[in-house]
Amino acid sequence: MSEPSQDMMIEAEGVDPLQLAYCDMSDLGNSQRLVARGQGRLMFSPSIGWLAFNGHCWSAEEGEMLAHRLAHETAQGIRIEAQALVEHAKRLASDGKAEASAMARERADDLFGWAVQAGNAGRTVAMLAQGKHYMRVAPDQLDRDRMAITLSNGTLKIRDCASRGVDFHLKNHDPADAITREAAVAYDPSAQCPGWRAHIARCLPNLEMSDFFQKMIGYAFSGHVSEQCFFMLQGPGQDGKSTTMNIIRRVMGGYAAVADVKTFLDLGQRSGADASPDLARLSGDVRLVSCSEPPRGAKLNEALLKGITGGAPITARHLNRDPFEYSPRFKIVMEVNDRPRVMGGDDGVWRRIVPIPFTRKIPDNEIDRTLEDRLVETEGPGILNWALEGLAMWMAEGLVRPEPVREAVADYRAASNPFSEWFYDRCERDERAEESAADLYRDYQTWCEAGNYEPISNTAFGRALGDRQVIRRKGAGGRIFRRGVRLKSHDYDPTAGSSAPSPDKPPMQGSMLGDDYDPYAM
């Protein structure tokens, strides 16, 4: 980290060293000195740690370092307190107050000795440990304005003025705003970004999709999660999605974060006592979290994603720290080639998934390795304006899914529902047919094994058949049969591959199914 600038330094403005000289010569007294010196420049959040106002925002990155620096300066300042007390003793003596002067000199001598001890590592650590209780800030006092963005040249306040659209107002940085993040660009309402717009048009040539993507990024610049969704940028590779997200993250600066994709995958039950630094670091006013390609065959952590996208409070814990609770503000953007598996079939999951197809593979002769750096360096403020346009569009219209997104969801849902795919692939509807329930489940298990799918339980399998009006019947000897369906072949060859339909193939029709039958629905 580079040395902090002069306006990042903790200055004891308005602090009277003579007044501090009468603080106790103890760790508690030193913490009182620390509080006096750090007022308005340093505070402590239980979930974040030390925060220091760096002239633009309350920074956790500089907070720990500047807190320790302030503790050192406080210890060194005790000598100044002692010297101020010596001067005070002289004034008392000149006023004929000999006894008071002697007492002041005696305390000054003690302070000079205490100043040496106060600089010891153990004393400065104790000073910070006690002082943080008097400089504590509640989580709900930080980043209160979800529609404010701190930039290098001020804080942009965004307001929805119904009569005249969205209003953008730039104001001076102010520690009273209690903002903890900063974007990496300046606000210039006249800035343009022709190169960026050309890049988006090349990656998303469908105008409906490029407009939707712009609104999505605008929504991500806000601190709201009202859309209750997460995004997947899906493409074949060499399609521009990684470069696009790298540029967006760099413009967003501290409002964006990168997470390990495993954070959002189902890797087995995590104990509530386990540390969760991956989630803990996403607390506060993180507004966009991007993650890269999940491993092939990975499963989404559907319960976690439901909670995050719904804004429900989640509990997290840094290493060696107490658990804390926060309400996430971030929007997840996952870059995928192979889509992760979704095991549940309920609408609560699928209505949250927003795939954005990047279908155009960039030809080798069009690849520009300098594009990312060049656009960020030359068009950063213009890219911010493009995102703010998207934010205004989102505020006016919401995030209505265009047809390509709806089609991508339907395709994803079909491919992620092994039972429905097995049912279509292996079963024929026949009102008079009957199969052993055990034979059906055995065939399903074989099909899943061949496709590397995890089969649902026998009980869930029976419920799924019932949902499709495959009627349960108990036969002689307690054997269970299912009426209304037959297996396509009893000499099933799992190596022959699936004959599941493409998403645009019309579903089967039949008297038992009705015109609205959906073979992919759970």
| Average confidence (pLDDT) over 184-199 | 98
68's enclosing H/E stretch is helix 60-94
The pLDDT of residue 193 is: 98
| Average confidence (pLDDT) over 290-299 | 88
Across 78-82, 294-298, 301-305, least confident range: 294-298
Q: What is the mean pLDDT of the chain?
A: 88
CB 442, CB 464: distance < 8 Å: no
Across 229-233, 309-313, 358-362, 417-421, least confident range: 417-421
| Cα distance between residue 277 and residue 263, in whole Å | 10
Task: For strands 230-234 and 353-357, give the pairing.
Answer: parallel
**Secondary structure (DSSP) of 128-159:** HHHHGGGSB--GGGSS--TTEEEETTEEEEEE
The pLDDT of residue 414 is: 77
CB 111, CB 20: distance < 8 Å: no
pLDDT in tens, 320-342: 888 899 999 999 999 998 889 88
Across 28-42, 153-167, 430-444, 499-513, least confident range: 499-513
What tokens does 477 get? Answer: 């000897």
Domains identified in the chain and CATH numbers: 6-137 (no CATH), 165-412 (3.40.50), 417-496 (1.10.10.10)
Given a cut of 70, whether residue 516 has pLDDT beyond it is no
The pLDDT of residue 269 is: 63
With tokens 């413009």, the residue in question is 251
The pLDDT of residue 273 is: 58
| Cα distance between residue 380 and residue 254, in whole Å | 15
Highest mean pLDDT of the ranges 180-189, 444-453, 476-485? 180-189
Given a cut of 60, whether residue 495 has pLDDT beyond it is no
Give the whole-number percent of the chain exceeding pLDDT 70.
89
Given a cut of 70, whether residue 48 has pLDDT beyond it is yes
pLDDT, greater one: 8 or 155 = 155
This prediction's pTM = 0.79
Please report which confidence band the pLDDT of residue 301 belongs to, taking 50, 70 and 90 as the band edges: very high
| Average confidence (pLDDT) over 123-130 | 96
pLDDT in tens, 55-98: 999 999 899 999 999 999 999 999 999 999 999 999 999 999 99
| Average confidence (pLDDT) over 14-20 | 89
**341 forms bridges with which residues in the sheet?**
299
The pLDDT of residue 478 is: 87
The pLDDT of residue 163 is: 65
Q: What is the 3-state secondary structure (H, E, C) of 327-347?
A: CCCCEEEEEECCCCECCCCCH
The pLDDT of residue 493 is: 53
Given a cut of 80, whether residue 489 has pLDDT beyond it is no
| Average confidence (pLDDT) over 213-235 | 97
pLDDT in tens, 100-118: 999 999 999 999 999 999 9
CB 202, CB 362: distance < 8 Å: yes
Contacts of 442 (CB under 8 A, 6+ apart): none
Q: State how far the alpha carbon of 200 is from the alpha carbons of 183, 194, 241, in Å.
A: 21, 10, 10
Contacts of 83 (CB under 8 A, 6+ apart): 17, 108
The pLDDT of residue 496 is: 47
| Cα distance between residue 481 and residue 430, in whole Å | 14
Please report which confidence band the pLDDT of residue 417 belongs to, taking 50, 70 and 90 as the band edges: confident
pLDDT in tens, 362-386: 999 989 999 999 999 999 999 999 9
Contacts of 376 (CB under 8 A, 6+ apart): 247, 250, 251, 383
Please report which confidence band the pLDDT of residue 481 belongs to, taking 50, 70 and 90 as the band edges: very high
pLDDT, greater one: 79 or 163 = 79
